[in-house]
């Protein structure tokens, strides 16, 4: 099989819990690029927060906000903000239940509070910059959002607001009771389909690595989907392959299974 694209999640896949990556991970990316494989970061994070990492690793393209925005060679391939009315329903429910939201636009991170301890922890864990208090004038520009300080028993109330939406638990060290808002038709898998169509690449020629439930569509779309050893246990059912943990250079070892690195 001639592989042409590689899609990589960031937290728990490229980056370890202490925000570093192994030398083998960077080397694996370089090795596949030397074979003509295009490498894309594919993350729930806002892209303005990951460009520095992407430049360090030399990736060719980006999918951010859990699939709501994709860019390759300065061509915007996907740009799908959350429906303003749906967002405002979520904000109202969050206010009623004393939950907090982080909302991402193309340029900034907006929060329903900047002082809540759970927000401060979220910002610290993900090392987020460009942070501001959420204002109504950007409600129609929100590409991605996460709900913070919500209990598992309260998730269903949000999912009942819109049939196109489900909540995906954020499984990152030192983060709890936090869920990404995922849209059935706007997710990492759908964004990858758009990228592959633009590149004229077949899904079977694509590889992906992930560790969270927001990666399930991504792993299903590609020909070779890898779940990291440190993945949310529910993700393994969606992955064709299983590799070692992020601390044990899971990307490198997975690509080695495909005989793409040495």
Residue 117 has pLDDT above 90, yes or no: yes
Q: Based on the domain organization, do 206 and 232 belong to the same domain?
A: yes
Q: Based on the domain organization, do 194 and 74 belong to the same domain?
A: yes
* Other residues' Cβ atoms within 10 Å of the Cβ of residue 3: 21
Residue 243 has pLDDT above 90, yes or no: yes
Domain assignment of residue 63, yes or no: yes
Q: Based on the domain organization, do 170 and 117 belong to the same domain?
A: yes
- Angle of the 250-257 helix axis to the 23-33 helix axis, nearest 10: 40
Domain assignment of residue 84, yes or no: no
Q: Based on the domain organization, do 104 and 158 belong to the same domain?
A: yes
d(CA 186, CA 259): 32
State the pLDDT at residue 223.
Answer: 97
Domain end, chosen from 155, 181, 207, is at: 181
Domain count, the chain: 2
Taking CA 220 as the corner, what is the angle to CA 143 and CA 15, rounded to the nearest 5 degrees? 60
32-83 per-position pLDDT tens digit: 999 999 999 999 999 999 999 999 999 999 999 999 999 999 899 999 999 9
Q: Which of 84, 33, 42 is nearest to 66 (CA)?
A: 42
Helix (H, G, I), strand (E, B) or coil at 63: strand
State the pLDDT at residue 174.
Answer: 83
148-160 per-position pLDDT tens digit: 999 999 999 999 9
Residue 234 has pLDDT above 90, yes or no: yes
Q: Based on the domain organization, do 191 and 153 belong to the same domain?
A: no
Residue 138 has pLDDT above 90, yes or no: yes
Q: Based on the domain organization, do 176 and 202 belong to the same domain?
A: no
Residue 1 has pLDDT above 90, yes or no: no
Q: Based on the domain organization, do 203 and 164 belong to the same domain?
A: no
State the pLDDT at residue 8.
Answer: 98
Per the CB < 8 A criterion, the answer to whether 242 and 11 are in contact is no
d(CA 241, CA 257): 9
> What CATH code is carried by the domain that includes residue 144?
3.30.1240.10
Place 12 in a pLDDT band, splitting at 50, 70 and 90: very high
Cβ partners under 8 Å of residue 138, min gap 6: 103, 105, 108, 110
d(CA 68, CA 85): 17
Is the four-CA dihedral 124, 127, 132, 135 of positive or negative sign? Answer: negative
Q: Based on the domain organization, do 71 and 190 belong to the same domain?
A: yes
Structural domain of 253: 5-79+186-257
Strand ranges (E), the chain: 5-8, 38-42, 61-64, 69-72, 75-79, 100-104, 109-111, 131-133, 144-148, 165-169, 178-183, 206-210, 224-227, 241-242
Q: Based on the domain organization, do 98 and 167 belong to the same domain?
A: yes
Cβ partners under 8 Å of residue 132, min gap 6: 108, 109, 110, 111
Domain assignment of residue 98, yes or no: yes
Place 127 in a pLDDT band, splitting at 50, 70 and 90: confident
Domain end, chosen from 181, 200, 219, is at: 181
* Other residues' Cβ atoms within 10 Å of the Cβ of residue 105: 21
| pTM for the model | 0.91
State the pLDDT at residue 120.
Answer: 94
Q: Which of 176, 157, 179 is nearest to 167 (CA)?
A: 179
Cβ partners under 8 Å of residue 115, min gap 6: none
């Amino acid at each position: 099989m001639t592989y042409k694209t590689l899609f990589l999640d960031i937290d728990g896949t490229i980056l370890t819990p202490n925000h570093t990556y192994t030398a083998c991970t960077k080397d694996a990316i370089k090795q596949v690029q030397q074979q003509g494989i295009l490498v894309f970061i594919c993350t729930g994070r806002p892209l303005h927060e990951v460009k520095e990492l992407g430049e360090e690793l030399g990736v060719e393209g980006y999918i951010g906000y859990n699939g709501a925005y994709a860019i390759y060679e300065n061509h915007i391939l996907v740009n799908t903000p959350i429906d303003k009315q749906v967002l405002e329903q979520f904000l109202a429910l969050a206010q009623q239940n004393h939950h907090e939201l982080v909302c991402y636009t193309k340029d900034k991170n907006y929060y329903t509070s900047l002082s809540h301890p759970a927000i401060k922890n979220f910002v610290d864990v993900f090392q987020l910059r460009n942070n501001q208090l959420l204002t109504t004038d950007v409600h129609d520009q929100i590409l991605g959002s996460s709900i913070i300080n919500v209990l598992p028993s309260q998730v269903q109330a949000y999912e009942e607001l819109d049939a196109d939406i489900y909540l995906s638990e954020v499984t990152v060290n030192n983060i709890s009771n936090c869920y990404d808002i995922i849209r059935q038709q706007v997710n990492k898998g759908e964004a990858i389909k758009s990228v592959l169509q633009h590149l004229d690449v077949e899904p079977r020629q694509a590889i992906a690595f992930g560790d969270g439930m927001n990666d399930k569509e991504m792993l299903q779309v590609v020909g070779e989907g890898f779940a990291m050893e440190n993945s949310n246990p529910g993700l393994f059912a969606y992955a064709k392959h299983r590799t070692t943990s992020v601390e044990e250079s899971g990307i490198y070892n997975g690509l080695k299974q495909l005989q793409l690195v040495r």
